Amino acid sequence: MIKLYHCMSARSFRPLWMLEELGVPYELVMLPFPPRVLQRAYLDVNPLGTIPLLINGQTRMTESAAICQYLCAVHAPTPLQVEPHDHEFGAYLNYLHFGEATLTFPQTLVLRYSRFEPEHRRQPSVAEDYAKWFLARLRSLEPLLTKRAFLCADRFTAADVSVGYALMLAQHLGLSAQFTPAVTAYWERLQERNAYMRALQAQEAAALAQGVSTVPAPDTR
């Protein structure tokens, strides 16, 4: 069975949401955040110390967007992926990676310099600049989402899971009030999905069962 190492509402939420969308059985291992500090034994399983870590037989993966792509491929056919012969295949892959590389990266700097660093090392101006940078990048989706319910192929796909997680993180960071109107409506649409709600419930239940705090850590909030 697929094993997913996860921290509350961290990037590993992407594969968790995907597993719920696909209806695939999985084992969810909850870790305190950051595991590299609070659960040193995790470094034996994943020397990087980051989550997600997905293990499926001989396969071990640590990149959330790549795991979404992998889960679609091994559970194909699924409407969650766009096939190479589809004219939107390139757009699909682009948004799948845009969610992590373009939208999540600036937010990690906001987290770090507004919440995670000790008080004396915090840099409000850096946090503010990267919040603005994130919101400017996000605004690029507004014209598309004014015309379309989802990012590509006229349906919900793994690309929406990837970008959706970036919006979830932005909400935790208090940035969602600054989303543009079509992005706000899109984010509301994503949160109404049963699989999204099941993923939220699954992490809560697993954290309670495994004695891990259900409160997201300072740098994943």
Site of interaction with ligand GSH (CB under 6 A): 10-11, 34, 36, 49-52, 63-65, 100, 220
* Nearest residue to 70 via CA among 27, 22, 137: 22
Helix (H, G, I), strand (E, B) or coil at 29: strand
Nearer to ligand GSH, 65 or 158 (CB): 65
Nearer to ligand GSH, 81 or 162 (CB): 162
Q: Which residue is nearest to ligand GSH (CB)?
A: 50
* Alpha carbon separation from 8 to 29, 117, 161, 203, 212 (Å, rounded): 11, 19, 16, 7, 9
Paired residues of 30 in beta bridges: 6
Residue 166 CB, nearest distance to ligand GSH (Å)? 10
Those residues with Cβ within 8 angstroms of residue 183's Cβ, 6 or more apart along the chain or in another chain? 138, 139, 141, 142, 145, 167
Residue 116 CB, nearest distance to ligand GSH (Å)? 10
Backbone φ and ψ for 5, nearest 5 degrees, come out as: -90, 130
Nearer to ligand GSH, 20 or 100 (CB): 100
Residue 99 CB, nearest distance to ligand GSH (Å)? 9
Nearer to ligand GSH, 116 or 179 (CB): 116
Residue 202 CB, nearest distance to ligand GSH (Å)? 17
Nearer to ligand GSH, 101 or 149 (CB): 101
Residue 6 CB, nearest distance to ligand GSH (Å)? 10
Residue that has been written with the tokens 């071990």 in this structure = 60
Copy the structure tokens of residue 118.
Answer: 């000790």
